Structure 1
Amino acid sequence: MNVLAVTGYKPHEMNISSVNDQRIRYIKETIKRRLLHLINEGIQWVLVSGQMGVEIWTCEVVIELKRVYAIKLAIVPPFDGQETRWPESIQQLYQNILMEADFVQLLYESTYKGAYQFKAKNKFMVDKSDACLLMIDEEFPGSNRFFLEEAMHKHKHVAYPIYYMTPLDLEDTMQAMIEEEQINTVND
């Protein structure tokens, strides 16, 4: 495996309305733990479309990991200006992430024209990757279901691993981080 596509929920799909929400720490740590395992398995590139939520948090994690590991970040937004309706703080973060990415290219060289651009984005990400990592709760898949459908279609025809991050994974990470913090507090 060389290229890993990563996607998942947008903040509003997880009821996250603030960049200071503590759950983001646990989500990013879960992403980091999964990526470290996959880097050890040979992943060299992480591919995202740069959407708010899991993809932006993945970008932040990859940028951090690039300091130590030979991992690269590719961002292929579905259209120009996808961030124009985002909160200003996230727009600025997105611009900073774009500057630190190893590869950035628009899928469509225009602004938003229709839902077909999102469908094409899902197909592109699956077609250009060797595996995917998806944060999803199968009971409440949200907009992730469209990416998962595309990934499952490829999975049925070729060896295309689909890795999941579930609410249980997030809970495990949260518990592990709380325990580590408690141990560190006792040792200090």
Structure 2
Amino acid sequence: MSRLWITGYRSYELGIFKDDDPKRKVIDSVLKSEISQAIVDGMDWLISGGQLGIEQWSLEMGQGLKKEYPGEFQTSMMLPFAEFGNNWNENNQAKLQALKTKVDFSASVSDKPYQSPQQLRNYQEFMLSHTDQALLIYDLDNPGKSQYDYDKIKKFAENHPYPYKLITFDDLQSAADEYQENLNNSVQDD
């Protein structure tokens, strides 16, 4: 069994506030490529959190790829605590709830509402002990909330066989250039 934890920037950290933002299309393209390769390499479970941004987008992409790879993998949304997202606006709460109903499995690591940062550390420990590798869309030169996950993953990997991959802003720029080139080529072909 191979279980992949995907995490990364929140949508607001990337300046993405609408689903049709061109930056989102590039990130979706990168996620599709990375998740597809993970499936080919034997990933059974795509596991992520419920944060707006990379975590939700990775689960959405995973759900979309089930048509191309039927029966080959499952998706799981793990939340750090009960009532996660309850302080978000209605639209974002609705997105979270809709995605929770689509994934194959969803649960909270803590059955209590948010009480302390220890719940977030427990969540990280849970994710590390229930996955075999990680993919982070995160750039060390542009810190964000995922720095905590990166630090924990890096420290864990120093003492355990736990590969992880960072997709940086340079990687995203290369993907954006390739995406634009493909768009230009498809327009020229028409």
Matched, 1:97 2:99: yes
Find the counterpart in structure 1 of residue 33 from structure 2: 33
Alpha-carbon distance between aligned partners in 2 of 1:63 and 1:5, rounded to the nearest angstrom: 15
Find the counterpart in structure 2 of residue 66 from structure 1: 66
Find the counterpart in structure 1 of residue 24 from structure 2: 24
The one-letter code of the counterpart of 1:25 is K
Which blocks of at least 5 consecutive residues in structure 2 are unaligned? none
TM-score scaled to structure 1, two decimals?
0.94
Q: CA deviation at 1:89?
A: 2.4
Alpha-carbon distance between aligned partners in 2 of 1:148 and 1:159, rounded to the nearest angstrom: 16
The C-alpha deviation readout for 1:118-163, integer Å capped at 9, x for no partner, is 1111111111110000111111231212111211122111211011
Find the counterpart in structure 2 of residue 113 from structure 1: 115
Find the counterpart in structure 2 of residue 142 from structure 1: 144
Alpha-carbon distance between aligned partners in 1 of 2:84 and 2:107, rounded to the nearest angstrom: 13
Report 1:10-21 matches (<5 A).
10-21=10-21
Find the counterpart in structure 2 of residue 180 from structure 1: 182
Alpha-carbon distance between aligned partners in 2 of 1:115 and 1:18, rounded to the nearest angstrom: 29
Alpha-carbon distance between aligned partners in 2 of 1:185 and 1:141, rounded to the nearest angstrom: 37
Find the counterpart in structure 2 of residue 88 from structure 1: 90
Find the counterpart in structure 1 of residue 3 from structure 2: 3
Alpha-carbon distance between aligned partners in 2 of 1:55 and 1:87, rounded to the nearest angstrom: 18
The one-letter code of the counterpart of 2:96 is Y
Alpha-carbon distance between aligned partners in 1 of 2:13 and 2:181, rounded to the nearest angstrom: 28
TM-score scaled to structure 2, two decimals?
0.93
Q: CA deviation at 1:169?
A: 1.5
Q: Quick one: percent identity of the two aligned structures?
A: 25
Cα RMSD (Å): 1.4
Alpha-carbon distance between aligned partners in 2 of 1:129 and 1:114, rounded to the nearest angstrom: 24
Alpha-carbon distance between aligned partners in 2 of 1:118 and 1:172, rounded to the nearest angstrom: 33
User: Which secondary structure does the structure 2 equivalent of 1:4 belong to?
Assistant: strand
